[in-house]
Amino acid sequence: MKKTCLTATALLLAAVAASAAPTAYAIDPTHTFPSFEADHMGISVWRGKLNKSSGKVLYDKAAGTGTVEIVTELASIDFGMDALATWARGKDFFDVKKHPRAVFKGTLQSPVDGVPTQLVGELTLHGVTRPLTLAVHSLKCTQHPMLKRDYCGADAGGSFNREDFGLSAGKDYGFKMNVDLRIQVEAIAQP
């Protein structure tokens, strides 16, 4: 009887430990769109998004912690205005031939009721890496109805000074250098 109880306890502890292990997720590129808002000469706000992203998440739902890496192809920038997007890809701004990607790497932190409220990390843009903290506005996981695997979605946002990354175009014309960044992301658990 004692041996059976010990075996059952060991199996229960192993099951709990296994369920508490972090899960690896791949970013769903068809449902992930980093977007941004930036000043235009102090008279209006221009909005845009980046249409091609990839990445990975390692998320421990029990602890509300994990790591995130999102890679965005800067050539996929979309302002809804082709001429502006073409200029932004060129040597006077992103220079995508030299710096084709923006990369954000961070850790999920400060959980409240098991859900992280911050994503603390670094943004690499235009060959420069700087710290960036994003607020996690929402994060929810559920079973994907077709794939029958865990599927998580989140919305995070923060701000940075683009001049810190060597992107000061327009400053002499009165453009403010602040950029508001939002990342809407969905990710599927890997088998």
The pLDDT value recorded for residue 12 is 40
Return the higher-pLDDT residue of 13 and 116: 116
The pLDDT value recorded for residue 21 is 87
CA distance 144 to 137: 21
Identify the bridge partners of residue 168 per DSSP, sorted by sequence position.
none
Q: Which of 4-13, 118-127, 140-149 has the lowest mean pLDDT?
A: 4-13
The pLDDT value recorded for residue 102 is 97
Q: Which residue has the tokens 């932190």?
A: 109
> In order of start, what are the domains of the chain with their CATH numbers?
22-189 (2.40.128.110)
Average pLDDT over residues 154-183: 96
pTM of the entire structure? Answer: 0.86
CA distance 51 to 28: 12
Q: Is 5 helix (H, G, I), strand (E, B) or coil?
A: helix
The pLDDT value recorded for residue 1 is 52
